[in-house]
C-alpha cells in the first residue's frame, strides 16, 4: 500500500523557564521522529505519559508548529504550507481528542458544533443540514438530539459527537489522541468498534495515540513505541506483541495483565522514573532504566536498525 504520510526528522522543542533567574531550558518533547503511515491502516503511537506522543500528533496536523522536520502528505510538505493552504487541508486532516467535553463548546447545540467545520470550509448552507443529520446517524446518535447541549450527553455519547465533528468533512486521515482513555471500559470497546466501522466505511487512515497497550492491541495494524521524544521501535502489531525487540517495549508488554492463569510471564519492572525531557540522558535515552545497558549505551545514540522489517533503536541490534 501507498504511504499517505511521511514524517522525516520531526522535532518539537519548547522553551521553558523554571524561574526568572534561571536560564531558558529547551524541552525536547519530540526529538527527530521518522515515520511512514500507509493508506487505510491504523498506526498506533504508544508510550508513557510525557513521552511526546500527543505533541507528535498535534505537530503532524500543525495544531502545533514543529521546530524542524518534514511532514509529507500526498506529495505536499505540510510544514511548508502557508496558513491559508493549511486551512484548506483541514478538510482532509482531522483530530479526535481525549476529552471531547473540553473541546465541545458548552454554549452551542450539537447541530451548531457540527456545522462549524462546514462553515469554515464554505460548504453551502443548503447542504449542511443533510450532512449533519447523516453524520450524527453514522456515529450512532439520534438526529432528534441535535438541538441539545454537550452537558446533556454521557461521556461515550460526547465522544461520538467528537468523532462526528471530525468526520463532518469526510477526512482522509484522523489523529485520535487517547480517544477512549476517559471512558469506562465497557464504553471503550463500543467507541473502538465504531472507529473501526467508520474506517472500513470511509477508507480512512488512523494515527492512534494511546498509553494503553490493551487498546492498542485491539485496534492497530502497526505500532510505534515512543520513549522520551523518540520512536524506539516500530513494527507490525503481531511482531511487536509476540517478538518485542527493544528492552523498553519488552518491559511494556511484560506489564500487560494476562487472563490465562496457565500462561507464565515474567514481569520486567522498569527501574526509576521517566527522566525529564529537558535534560535527557546521554547516549541511549533509555540507558538509566535498561537492564541490558552496555558501556556504549551511555555515550552513543543508537541508530535506527531494521530486523526483518521491524525498526529498533538499540545497540543490542547494531
Ligand atoms: Fe538498553 Fe543499550 Fe539498547 Fe538503550 S541501546 S535500550 S541502554 S541495550
Ligand atoms: Mg497525552
CA 52 – ligand 2 centroid, Å: 7
CA 223 – ligand 1 centroid, Å: 19
CA 211 – ligand 2 centroid, Å: 8
Nearest listed ligand to the Cα of residue 245: 1
Task: Give the cell for residue 279.
Answer: 535534560
In sequence order, the β-bridge partners of residue 46 are 210, 225
Nearest listed ligand to the Cα of residue 53: 2
Q: Any residues with Cβ below 6 Å from ligand 1, and which?
A: 246-247, 284, 286-287, 290, 292-294, 297, 302, 314-316
At the fourth CATH level, the homologous superfamily of domain 3-92+171-317 is P-loop containing nucleotide triphosphate hydrolases (3.40.50.300)
Nearest listed ligand to the Cα of residue 233: 1
* Predicted confidence (pLDDT) at residue 169 exceeds the cutoff of 70: yes
**Dihedral angle over CA of 120, 124, 129, 130, nearest 10:** -120
CA 278 – ligand 1 centroid, Å: 20
In sequence order, the β-bridge partners of residue 310 are 307
ipTM of the complex: 0.95
Tell which one of 251, 302, 303, 304 to mutate to probe ligand 1, the residue whose CB is within 8 A of the most ligand atoms. 302
- The predicted model gives 255-273 an average pLDDT of 78
Contact status, residue 110 vs residue 150, Cβ threshold 8 Å: yes
* Predicted confidence (pLDDT) at residue 203 exceeds the cutoff of 70: yes
Residues above pLDDT 90, as percent of the chain: 82
175-196 pLDDT, tens digit per residue, is 999 999 999 999 999 999 999 9
104-144 pLDDT, tens digit per residue, is 999 999 999 999 999 999 999 999 999 999 999 999 999 99
- The predicted model gives 282-297 an average pLDDT of 97
CA 134 – ligand 2 centroid, Å: 31
Contact status, residue 53 vs residue 10, Cβ threshold 8 Å: no
Q: How far apart are CA 189 and CA 171, in angstroms?
A: 23
Q: How far apart are CA 252 and CA 267, in angstroms?
A: 9
pTM of the model: 0.94
Q: Where are the domains of the chain?
A: 3-92+171-317
* Predicted confidence (pLDDT) at residue 21 exceeds the cutoff of 80: no
Amino acid at each position: 500500500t501507498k504511504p499517505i504520510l511521511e514524517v522525516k526528522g520531526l522535532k518539537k522543542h519548547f522553551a521553558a523557564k523554571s524561574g526568572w533567574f534561571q536560564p531558558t531550558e529547551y524541552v525536547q518533547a519530540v526529538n527527530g521522529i521518522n515515520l511512514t503511515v500507509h493508506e487505510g491502516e491504523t498506526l498506533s503511537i504508544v508510550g508513557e505519559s510525557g513521552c511526546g506522543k500527543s505533541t507528535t500528533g498535534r505537530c503532524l496536523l500543525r495544531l502545533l508548529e514543529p521546530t524542524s522536520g518534514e511532514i509529507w502528505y500526498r506529495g505536499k510538505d505540510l510544514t511548508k504550507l502557508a496558513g491559508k493552504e493549511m486551512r484548506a487541508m483541514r478538510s482532509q486532516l482531522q483530530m479526535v481528542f481525549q476529552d471531547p467535553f473540553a473541546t465541545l463548546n458548552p454554549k452551542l447545540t450539537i447541530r451548531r458544533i457540527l456545522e462549524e467545520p462546514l462553515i469554515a470550509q464554505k460548504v453551502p448552507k443548503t447542504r449542511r443540514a443533510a450532512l449533519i443529520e447523516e453524520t450524527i446517524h453514522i456515529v450512532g446518535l439520534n438526529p432528534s438530539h441535535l438541538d441539545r447541549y454537550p452537558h446533556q450527553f454521557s461521556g461515550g455519547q460526547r465522544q461520538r459527537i467528537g468523532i462526528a465533528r471530525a468526520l463532518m468533512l469526510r477526512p482522509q486521515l484522523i489523529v485520535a489522541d487517547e480517544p477512549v482513555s476517559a471512558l469506562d471500559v465497557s464504553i471503550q470497546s463500543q467507541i473502538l468498534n465504531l472507529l473501526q466501522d467508520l474506517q472500513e466505511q470511509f477508507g480512512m487512515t488512523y494515527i492512534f495515540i494511546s498509553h494503553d497497550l490493551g487498546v492498542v492491541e485491539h485496534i492497530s495494524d502497526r505500532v510505534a513505541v515512543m520513549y522520551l521524544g523518540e520512536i524506539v521501535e516500530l513494527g507490525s502489531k503481531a511482531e511487536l506483541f509476540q517478538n518485542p525487540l527493544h528492552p523498553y517495549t519488552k518491559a511494556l508488554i511484560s506489564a500487560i495483565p494476562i487472563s490465562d492463569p496457565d500462561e507464565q510471564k515474567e514481569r520486567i519492572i522498569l527501574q526509576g522514573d521517566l527522566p525529564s525531557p529537558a535534560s535527557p540522558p546521554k547516549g541511549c535515552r533509555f540507558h538509566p532504566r535498561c537492564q541490558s545497558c552496555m558501556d556504549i549505551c551511555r555515550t552513543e545514540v543508537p541508530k535506527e536498525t531494521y530486523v526483518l522489517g521491524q525498526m529498533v533503536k538499540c545497540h543490542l541490534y547494531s
